[in-house]
Structure 1
Amino acid sequence: MSTTHPPSFAALRIPAYRFLISAFLLTMMADNIEHVISYWMMFQQFHSPELGGFAVISHWLPYLVFSVPAGALADRFDPRRLIQIGMLMFMFCSLAWGYFFLTDSLQLWEAMALLVLHGCSGVLWMTSTQIILYDVVGKSNLPSGIRLLATARYLGLLVGPAVGALMMLGLGPKVGIILNACFYLPNLIWLMNAPCGPKFRDSPIAPPRAFKGFKDIFITAQEIAHEHKITSMILLAGASSFFIGNSYQAQMPGFAQDLGHGDPGILYSTLLAADAAGALLAGLLLESRGGILKTSPITAIGLAVLWCASLLCFALSEQYLLAILCLFIGGFFELSFNSMAQTIVQLNAPLEIRGRVIGLFNMSALGMRAGAGITVGLLGGMIGIHWSLAISATCLIAVSSTLYWRFKHKF
């Protein structure tokens, strides 16, 4: 690896990447706007906590089931078209919500169907976007491209709910959800002639492999078993998602109440903002100081341990300001290790099965988040959310430390 550090914000110097990240940010914002409006309207209609739980499961379970098949499709077909299909599915969901809200005809099964369709849309979009990212920025600028895309994701998570709330207040949820469909259009239009995909690759393209559906999960796992850098990052991402993921965010109202003095709503918003703000700072700092961290499995695992330690301190904190600081630091390390793990997987994935490998990583990093509903959520109902998060963070520290020792001494 060259010792020359890449320039700051290297990926943004590529015109096609500027289009890609702008469209990605709008899509992430629209995704979260839809969550804000649809969740609110479903609660008003059904007053069902179970439906709220189904909304979380339906968002992440498709990543567990369909990420590798989606990657296999992207290996065989143009990933730009798969993203466009995802955008059309997203738009259909927003317009369908709007129709049901306007006609006051939403039924429970229709809400569940739209939630599942929305989750499947995300799998096509996220997996295929990571594949064309390599085409747009190339190998040398890939770490920058991934960090900035992760930063845009957190910015969308911050901006989306705020814009959604403003749209509900200013336009009403019925008009707002219909207008939300327009935010997917830039990505849909740009991808018609975007300079990425199989036709724009300089390296020889391997003959497309047959699409084998769910069998591709096991076949891909076997093919990369000897790629220790890839397997260690997939295991790290899977363990992080299973034990913690983003489950603590769903428990923030409870943490805010326990820490509480003053308005718990304000405390809740501040806690969520602290986590996202830390991630944004990480993206900006790592980009402005290009190459400040060495991209290696050892570094990624170390950053993951620091993330766990931050959340462990947050879980045990009884002071509001200390909790804010722990979440801010946690957000910083979360973006750092997640973006580095993804970079390592992309840099080392064999070209002919890159889509499948990225799909396997997404299955682990995103799909396994459904398990955190048990480790933090259900366990929290029995022993309290502070202890459930603390125990989950401790378990993840143990797993990460084992991975660290195994990689450092065996590979």
Structure 2
Amino acid sequence: MPPNVANRPYRALRHRDFRRLWLASLVSVAGTQMQLVAIDWHVYVLTRSPLALGLMGLVRVVPVVVFSLWGGIVADRWNRRWVTGSTQAFMAAVAVALAAVTWTGKDSVALIYVLTAATAATTAFDNPARNALIPRLVPRQELPGALALNLTMFHAAMIGGPAMAGILIAGAAGTTAAAVGASTTHGLALIYLLNAVSFVGVIGAIATLRTSGRVETDVAASHPIEALRDGLHFVFSTPIMVWTMSLDFFATFFAGANVLLPIFAVEILHAGPTGYGWLRSAAALGALAGSIATTLRPLPERQGHVLLFSVAAFGAATVVFGLSRSYPVTFAALFVVGLADLVSTVVRQTLRQVVTPDALRGRMTSVNMVFYMGGPQLGELEAGLVAWLFRSAALGAVVSVVSGGVFTLGVAAVVALAAPAVRRYDVREHLRGPG
């Protein structure tokens, strides 16, 4: 890869289709992050239960596990533009439904679970199709830069979205203190409605792409079961894919604790909804700092050690977060969590895209979804269950987070010892290959 390309990831923005989709996605992801924060707060307001919060992880992951493999087949058989536009429109409709039931006072935990599951099921079809489009929007040599820009966009949205959600919730309640009650209803409904509107730009960008979304191989003529088998065989017969996906799954399973942040914000740090929103933004702020740093100074080509160190740092920062009783220290720990996760994600996403042939990218993404979405969502269930075992929700949340960080450190150590393919990974070996 020429040095001038490697050192200028922003060059991907020269390409019209990528630039339009990137800008539209910035708004859409911010809206989605606002809704994620609002839903967790909504459930906390209705129940004050760590178990109810933990069950959100189960609600979000089951549809992904059930549908993601089929979503990959759809992405590799049908026009990816059509699939992405349809899924974006459906998720907008679900957000409108959330806004309507919340505004009219017909909201309930059960209904929130159902609508959240509907969004998760749609994501299982949206992500493979949308991610499989990206390598077609830029030249192969600029793909690492495009992926880095996507991560920058994603984490920038994760800063603004949660912070804005916290402000809107607190504003609706008339206070930034720890009072949480029915007065937040209008703020929650507004957040859901804003998320629905945020999908419009992506739908427009997808509709006006000049790049074809058609699959250019004979996969569309193959039997769906055969196509599924081919995708699974590719992923699980490639050792470095298996190891990095497993590392991602177990690290986020043990250390995934975002769902407990309402408890930390209200019962431990006494920060209220505004403080909660900024805590949700802290990791994204660290990730944004990391993505800017990796854009200006790309990671070294031999990235195996970088990946393992970043996962270990992720676990250590999680331990500090769980033990902290200071808002600034907690914020700083979550900042490091986001920074470490970003570095790990850059390595893993680039690896998967450059290793995978175009004809298999949709199915590879769908298999990966089970790992990268299953880990944190099942981790939220695990975190909620552990916290629920204690009489005090605050004590349970602390034990859950600290133990998760310790286990993540153990996972990084095991992979470092058992997976030479990960330790020796060099991205240059794959960028030289055909697209």
Report the equivalent of 1:205.
217
Report the equivalent of 2:333.
326
Report the equivalent of 2:63.
62
**Partners of 1:251 and 1:385 within 8 A in 2:** no
> In structure 1, what is the Cα distance between the partners aligned to 2:266 and 2:42?
24
> In structure 2, what is the Cα distance between the partners aligned to 1:176 and 1:306?
33
2:289 counterpart of 1:281: yes
Report the equivalent of 2:247.
236
> In structure 2, what is the Cα distance between the partners aligned to 1:268 and 1:165?
6
User: Could you tell me which amino acid in structure 2 is paired with residue 237 of structure 1?
Assistant: D
Cα drift, residue 235 of structure 1: 2.2
> In structure 1, what is the Cα distance between the partners aligned to 2:189 and 2:347?
40
User: Could you tell me which amino acid in structure 2 is paired with residue 273 of structure 1?
Assistant: S
User: Could you tell me which amino acid in structure 2 is paired with residue 212 of structure 1?
Assistant: P
Q: Secondary structure at the match of 2:207?
A: coil
Q: Secondary structure at the match of 2:162?
A: helix
Deviations 1:85-112, CA, capped at 9 Å, x for gaps? 2111112112222333444444665433
Structure 2 length-normalised TM: 0.79
Deviations 1:258-308, CA, capped at 9 Å, x for gaps? 975x7466665554433221101011111122x343264443233323323
Report the equivalent of 1:138.
139
Report the equivalent of 1:371.
378
> In structure 2, what is the Cα distance between the partners aligned to 1:217 and 1:123?
15
> In structure 1, what is the Cα distance between the partners aligned to 2:309 and 2:51?
37
**Partners of 1:72 and 1:211 within 8 A in 2:** no
Q: 1:121 to 1:313 in 2, by over 3 A?
A: same
Report the equivalent of 1:13.
14
**Partners of 2:51 and 2:385 within 8 A in 1:** no
Report the equivalent of 1:186.
201
2:234 counterpart of 1:223: yes
Q: Structure 2: which 5+ residue stretches go unaligned?
A: 173-185, 391-395, 427-435
Which of 325, 333, 342 is the aligned partner of 1:335?
342
Question: How many correspondences in the alignment?
Answer: 403
> In structure 2, what is the Cα distance between the partners aligned to 1:348 and 1:37?
37
> In structure 1, what is the Cα distance between the partners aligned to 2:323 and 2:42?
35
User: C-alpha root-mean-square deviation of aligned residues, in Å?
Assistant: 3.4
User: Could you tell me which amino acid in structure 1 is paired with residue 204 of structure 2?
Assistant: I
Which of 350, 354, 357 is the aligned partner of 1:347?
354
User: Could you tell me which amino acid in structure 2 is paired with residue 337 of structure 1?
Assistant: S
User: Could you tell me which amino acid in structure 2 is paired with residue 137 of structure 1?
Assistant: V
Which shows bigger deviation, 219-228 or 102-111?
102-111
Q: 1:267 to 1:162 in 2, by over 3 A?
A: closer
> In structure 2, what is the Cα distance between the partners aligned to 1:378 and 1:119?
21
User: Could you tell me which amino acid in structure 2 is paired with residue 92 of structure 1?
Assistant: A
Deviations 1:15-45, CA, capped at 9 Å, x for gaps? 2222111121222122233334555556666
2:414 counterpart of 1:399: yes
Q: 1:15 to 1:406 in 2, by over 3 A?
A: closer
- Identity across aligned pairs (percent)? 18
Report the equivalent of 2:23.
22
Cα drift, residue 367 of structure 1: 1.8
**Partners of 2:31 and 2:194 within 8 A in 1:** no
Q: Secondary structure at the match of 1:194?
A: coil
> In structure 2, what is the Cα distance between the partners aligned to 1:259 and 1:240?
25
